[in-house]
């Protein structure tokens, strides 16, 4: 029994999740899902029932993860076929026929590989025993094999340790140097092999293979006489109808992306026009500020008796003008002095 502090009480659960409920707006179903791996009838301690529920929940999550991986791979294969067809459409008839022939030859070359032993069979394990472990295949021992490949020595073979056993088989089919071999397909093949072994060996469905489960599997008929293993190229992964639906989905997404791109282009154009208007307005404001500053300088200069300054700060001198009273009246002497008598005039007697 674990200390009671390791499993929160009901009150603690409520307190711990109130903030989460408010911030994430989590509904009641989602909240219950967080604790579906705990026994609701035992709120104080972590017991065997809680462990069973925890394993069950984790297993379910991992199964869903594997299913999602299969679906992603299927979409990957349909995308490859879609791109292949689109590529061929862009070629003229002569080039298209030549390219189709080349692709078919690559496909046939990929299929010409050695026989793949069924994963988990005596033939497959003996091959690992001989080529990886360097031991005599005639002296194969299941218990020793299990101990050798329980690399972390925790008493079980986990998914990673199992998948490592299939490398030799996968190398018969896939080579990263070959154009016709797809490494994404190799990893899907590895996943299928691991699922096959788990289905036949993992009796309690905890996604771990114990020594007892492993030894029991070696006593089954399928261990010595398994069915021939079919690689991914043995049968299609999707139908033509599924491919057509996938292509229609791609077209819809492409149209949606085009609409979004057009909306972004229009918004960009609008922002550009607004930028131009703001720039023009900015220039107008700057000109107005300059003019106001110039007028203030002129007013200050006039008040100080100094000539007004020009636009660059230089002084501007104005021609001096006479006051109205200083302007000579018609016939008046400019200097207001008495006029001299005219010369050479006859004198009066």
Mean pLDDT of the chain: 81
Is the predicted pLDDT of residue 344 greater than 80, yes or no? no
Quote the pLDDT of residue 298: 84
- pLDDT tens-digit map of 42-72: 666 666 666 555 555 666 666 688 899 999 9
The number of helices, as runs of H, and strands, as runs of E, in the chain is 12, 2
Which residue in 117, 114, 111 sits closest to 197, CA to CA? Answer: 117
- Higher pLDDT, residue 321 or 162: 162
What is the share, in percent, of the chain residues with pLDDT greater than 70? 69
Q: Which residue do the tokens 């903030």 mark?
A: 19
Quote the pLDDT of residue 32: 47
Is the predicted pLDDT of residue 346 greater than 80, yes or no? no
Quote the pLDDT of residue 5: 44
- pLDDT tens-digit map of 131-173: 999 999 889 999 999 999 999 999 999 999 999 999 999 999 9
- Residues listed for the chain: 349
């Amino acid at each position: 029994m674990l200390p009671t502090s390791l499993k929160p009480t009901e009150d603690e659960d409520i307190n711990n999740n109130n903030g989460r409920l408010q911030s994430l707006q989590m509904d009641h179903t989602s909240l219950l899902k967080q604790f579906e791996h705990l026994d609701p009838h035992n709120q104080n301690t972590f017991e065997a029932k809680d462990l069973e529920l925890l394993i069950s929940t984790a297993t379910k999550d991992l199964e869903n993860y594997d299913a999602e991986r299969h679906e992603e791979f299927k979409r990957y294969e349909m995308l490859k076929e879609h791109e292949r067809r689109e590529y061929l459409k862009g070629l003229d008839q002569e080039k298209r026929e030549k390219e189709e022939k080349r692709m078919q030859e690559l496909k046939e070359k990929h299929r010409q590989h050695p026989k793949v032993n069924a994963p988990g069979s005596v033939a497959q394990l003996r091959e690992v025993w001989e080529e990886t472990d360097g031991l005599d295949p005639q002296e194969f021992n299941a218990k020793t094999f299990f101990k050798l490949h329980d690399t972390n020595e925790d008493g079980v073979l986990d998914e990673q340790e199992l998948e490592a056993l299939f490398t030799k088989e996968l190398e018969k089919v896939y080579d990263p140097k070959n154009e016709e071999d797809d490494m994404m397909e190799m990893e899907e093949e590895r996943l299928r092999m691991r699922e096959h072994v788990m289905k036949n060996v993992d009796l309690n469905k905890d996604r771990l293979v114990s020594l007892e489960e492993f030894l029991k599997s070696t006593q089954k008929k399928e261990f010595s006489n398994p069915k021939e293993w079919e690689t991914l190229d043995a049968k299609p992964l999707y139908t033509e109808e599924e491919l057509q639906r996938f292509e229609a989905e791609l077209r819809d997404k492409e149209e949606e992306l085009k609409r979004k791109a057009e909306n972004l282009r229009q918004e960009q154009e609008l922002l550009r026009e607004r930028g131009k208007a703001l720039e023009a307005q900015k220039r107008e404001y700057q000109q107005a500020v300059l003019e106001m500053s110039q007028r203030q300088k002129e007013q200050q200069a006039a008040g100080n008796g100094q000539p007004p300054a020009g636009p660059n700060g230089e002084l501007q001198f104005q021609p001096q003008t006479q006051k109205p009273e200083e302007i000579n009246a018609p016939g008046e002497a400019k200097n207001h002095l008495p006029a001299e008598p005219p010369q050479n005039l006859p004198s009066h007697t």
